[in-house]
């Protein structure tokens, strides 16, 4: 049975990387330390996919590793384990970073006017970019039309409000 903190780390891992991330954390909770090779064999998953997940979890500070040089082939072998950092602190810092990014995006959306081509599925252009293209699509040459981003602004505000009012 996983402790409350390990369950929380497993949930964060699943949120970041899907069910495989949760399985990896649960494996490491039982085994304490494993190589990527061992994890891949137990999960019956391709080694490259396991390594991608391990590095995402490491970047999120949920896992850590130690490495040793393999005496036979000279390459490093990585031994993965669950972080000893406080899960609540990791969560709060991650939440703060997400809020910062969302708020920057909200500022970008509210401070810019956008234009888009009605003929193509190309990214929208800011007023300056549209002006530089003489309000013509850079791909097909059609006249660019104003793009209403009010829906994006509403969604961003709702997400920010929801995150700010959530627990931890």
Dihedral angle computed from the Cα positions of residues 134, 135, 136 and 139, in that order, rounded to the nearest 10 degrees: 100
Sign for the pseudo-dihedral over CA of 65, 63, 53, 7: positive
Q: What is the pTM of this model?
A: 0.67
Mean pLDDT value of segment 79-108: 90
5 pLDDT higher than 90: no
Classified as helix, coil or strand, 38 is helix
User: pLDDT grade, residue 86 (50/70/90)?
Assistant: confident
d(CA 114, CA 126): 4
User: pLDDT grade, residue 95 (50/70/90)?
Assistant: confident
d(CA 13, CA 82): 11
Q: Tell me the per-residue pLDDT of 53-62, one tens digit each, with 9 for 90 and over.
A: 999 999 989 9
114-116 and 145-147 beta bridge pairing: antiparallel
162 pLDDT higher than 60: yes
Q: Tell me the per-residue pLDDT of 16-38, one tens digit each, with 9 for 90 and over.
A: 999 999 999 999 999 989 999 99
168 pLDDT higher than 60: no
E strand intervals along the chain: 34-35, 63-69, 76-82, 114-116, 125-126, 145-147
Give burial (CB, 10 Å; 0-12/13-18/19+) of 137. Answer: buried
Taking residue 8's Cβ as centre, other Cβ atoms within 10 Å add up to: 17
User: pLDDT grade, residue 167 (50/70/90)?
Assistant: low
Q: What is the DSSP string of 44-62?
A: T--HHHHHHHHHHHHHTTS
């Amino acid at each position: 049975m996983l402790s409350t903190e390990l369950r929380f780390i497993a949930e964060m891992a699943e949120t970041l990387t899907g069910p495989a991330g949760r399985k990896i954390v649960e494996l490491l909770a039982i085994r304490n330390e494993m190589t990527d090779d061992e994890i891949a064999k137990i999960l019956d998953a391709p080694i490259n996919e396991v390594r991608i997940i391990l590095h995402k979890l490491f970047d999120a500070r949920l896992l850590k590793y130690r490495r040793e040089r393999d005496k036979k082939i000279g390459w490093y072998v990585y031994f993965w384990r669950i972080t000893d950092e406080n899960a609540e602190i990791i969560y709060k810092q991650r939440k703060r970073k997400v809020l910062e990014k969302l708020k920057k995006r909200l500022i970008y959306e509210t401070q810019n006017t956008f234009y888009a081509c009605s003929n193509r599925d190309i990214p929208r252009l800011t007023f300056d970019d549209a002006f530089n293209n003489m309000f013509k699509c850079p791909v097909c040459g059609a006249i660019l039309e104003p793009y209403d981003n009010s829906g994006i602004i509403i969604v961003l505000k709702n997400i920010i409000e929801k995150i700010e009012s959530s627990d931890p």
